[in-house]
Amino acid sequence: MTLALRGTETDVLADARLIGSELATNAFVSGSPPLVLCVDRRNLASGRLEIEITVTDGGCSRPAPASPTAPDEQAESGRGLVIVDALADAWSLTTGANGSRAWCRLTHRPCPSSAGA
């Protein structure tokens, strides 16, 4: 992910890494092989940077939640989709016995001082 997003501002890179980690972890824990992580980066004509992160796996028997819910304070897991929902501009999760797909989009307007980075 770091290579695909080379030159991206630190805060956006940190958000993308965290989201990628959460989606991949969910696929690893809840899905089945193979697990594939894809990162697409587009520089839009408006000057914005759009990052799409997609994780697919071989399938999951649990249905996708309609919306993320925060776990109990003491819970050791269950915050992944809450984090994705808070950081991503758009996201979706589709699960099924033959394959699951989690997708999100981050859109960012670079700061003028880092536009040439």
The backbone torsions φ and ψ at residue 83, rounded to the nearest 5 degrees and listed phi first, read -65, -45
3-class secondary structure, 36: strand
pLDDT at 106: 94
Look up the pTM and report it. Answer: 0.82
User: How many Cβ atoms are within 10 Å of 24's Cβ, its own excluded?
Assistant: 20
pLDDT digit string, tens, across residues 49-92? 899 999 999 998 888 777 777 767 776 766 788 899 999 999 99
Q: Which residue has the higher pLDDT, 2 or 25?
A: 25
Contact 103, 81 (CB under 8 A): no
Greater confidence (16 vs 77) lies with 16
Task: Compute the distance between CA of residue 30 and CA of residue 80 in angstroms, rounded to an integer.
Answer: 12
Phi and psi at residue 30, to the nearest 5°? -100, -25
